[in-house]
Chain A
């Protein structure tokens, strides 16, 4: 599903060149649930932006669902994001003053689909929020908002769901519920990538890709279980 090779991205910050990604290569197969983990500044946000087609790499190749997307124009990238990628953000990023249903239907409107309403209702049902679809985000709890966001990511039937710290703004119990939802979606065949700094979240995934200083490395030895021992 995802095949990225030798991705390089550099930034100039205050006159200094920072190499955020240094020849990163990775593969994610269809139906996998993968964590991208690393400390802050490791380049995982940059990697997520490139994998999510919000940004383009300076060098390297990125094939998404068989299509080379690393050199596309910004309008083409917007179409790819619309059709192939579903985003879930740490801060939910729902639009205020719009009902849950309207928020979920929004990606379909940009695809100019006329069956938006039915599909949005089906997606909300999938995340267990069918009876709350008329509510605006301000009237929903954090966990419910994240469920709406997940429904919005699902509604276009994308190739991958890209979640950036999806439990970061939730209490641990609600976070567990959201992770359980991701797992059940994965069990239903969805390809899911979760970007996180949290080893506990990453532990819910089938495997993790660990980043330090813009490079993929082996994860550090887990210290916590050693103390228990």
Chain B
């Protein structure tokens, strides 16, 4: 039988039971839609994390004091990193491009009658380029200003808006813990990163922060930028060895610092988000299989109802494979149309989820659409085959006698 004739017959019999066909398709529609939406959420999350981490720079190491522990009881953070440690790292470890020691604390910042609580970071001039911050208005402080412990500040865009509103902050004077600071510049916005908002902070020279503002001798962290061509894990080990020597850590004792590697974090995040995506996708895939069972159920009913028709067709010359093909194509149309409608539902759903909140950015990938469509077609063949086979092997005499 010609293919278009089979299609015509199949479409007509599906149309004869519209509600039933649509309900049977609904399982596949929801299944495919769910697979696509879930994969889109997973892909969106991965892309977001990736772009955030690469924005931070992949060749960055962050050294922080380790946890002081005794018999497994953690008792706070140690104070052991110094500016000299940072200088020693640049001087002695091969492959280090630049360092930026930093101190910081959340404090009250005032301008006229307005005030806000924000993170004040004291650091060196290398900090901004290393963390890929850019200046939007005004300028950054210079090395000379750091040497002179100048009372100058660069504001994050959020902080600038909080304190100044629409006013231009550059050249104005703010008070940090009662000390006057002149605003030199404002940073370009980077966007909230969930655990920390880089747009809401004040950056001042390291020396000013340590001596005048916080009165500390130790730094909170040392940021290290590694040369592009250097082996990052080798550099990491060298720094660790250097700091152990400088801090006089006995052989066999645990490290007193923690070094975080952006590349490792990136890999860990990517890995966990992939696991998350696979998990979501498989749960959605189960609903697709359930949809397939729905199609099989309806096809079995349809075969029973049309027993007599099958008998007539066989009597006038339909071979077993003609009958098989006809019912298989009917199941395939249901799963195929269901799949296409599911793609529309999934893409639309992903869009809605993505626009509702920036908590769930979504990204519909062509691969996931193709995967869902192929899977729904496979479901149609798999669950359509058994009913079609039952129809094909009916005995024509008994089928003709069926009332």
- Which A residues have a C-beta under 8 Å from some C-beta of B? 49, 52, 54-55, 74-75, 78-79, 81-83, 87, 89, 93-95, 97-98, 106-107, 109-112, 152, 156
Interfacial residues of chain B within 378-403, with CB under 8 A of chain A in the complex:
396-397, 400
Bitwise, B313-324 to A at CB < 8 A (1) or not (0) is 111111111100
With an 8 A cutoff between CB atoms, is B266 at the interface? no
- Is A110 within 8 A of B322, CB to CB? yes
Q: Main SS of the interface on chain B?
A: helix
Residues A83 and B400 in contact, CB atoms below 8 Å apart:
no
**CB of B309 closer than 8 Å to a CB of A:** yes
- A89: chain B residues at CB < 8 Å are 400
Interface contact A81-B317, CB-CB below 8 Å: yes
User: Looking at the complex, which one of B2, B12, B316, B318 makes contact with A87 (CB distance below 8 Å)?
Assistant: B316
Q: A78-B318, A106-B316, A152-B316 are in contact. Are A112 and B2 (CB under 8 A)?
A: yes
Enumerate chain B residues within 8 angstroms of A54, measured Cβ to Cβ: 314-315, 396-397, 400
Q: Is the CB of A74 within 8 A of B320?
A: yes
A-B pairs with lowest CB-CB distance, top 9: A82-B317, A110-B317, A78-B319, A107-B316, A93-B312, A75-B319, A109-B1, A81-B317, A109-B5
Contact (Cβ within 8 A) B315 A75: no
Q: 13 extra interchain contacts, Cβ-Cβ under 8 A, other than A75-B319, A107-B316, A110-B319?
A: A52-B315, A54-B314, A78-B314, A79-B317, A79-B319, A81-B316, A83-B317, A93-B315, A95-B313, A97-B16, A106-B313, A106-B316, A110-B317
Contact A97 B317 (CB under 8 A): no
B190 at interface (Cβ–Cβ under 8 A)? no
Q: What's the least CB distance linking A95 to chain B, in Å? A: 6
Please, how many angstroms separate the alpha-carbon atoms of A61 and B347 in the complex? 65
> How far apart sit A79 and B318, CA to CA, in the bound complex (Å)?
8
> A78 vs B314: C-alpha distance in the bound complex, in angstroms?
7
Q: How far is the CB of B307 from chain A (nearest CB, A)?
A: 12
Closest to A107 in B: B316
30 contacts between A and B (CB under 8 A): A49-B397, A52-B315, A54-B314, A54-B397, A54-B400, A74-B320, A75-B320, A78-B314, A78-B317, A78-B318, A79-B319, A81-B315, A81-B316, A87-B316, A89-B400, A95-B309, A95-B312, A97-B16, A106-B313, A106-B316, A107-B316, A107-B317, A110-B1, A110-B313, A110-B316, A110-B318, A110-B319, A111-B317, A112-B1, A112-B2
Residue from A83, A107, A109, A152 in contact with B2 in the complex, judged by beta carbons closer than 8 Å:
A109
Is B97 in contact with chain A by the CB < 8 A criterion? no
Q: Which residues of A contact B13 (CB under 8 A)?
A: 97
Docked pose: A55 CA to B12 CA in angstroms: 31
Report the minimal beta-carbon distance from B255 to chain A, rounded to whole angstroms. 78
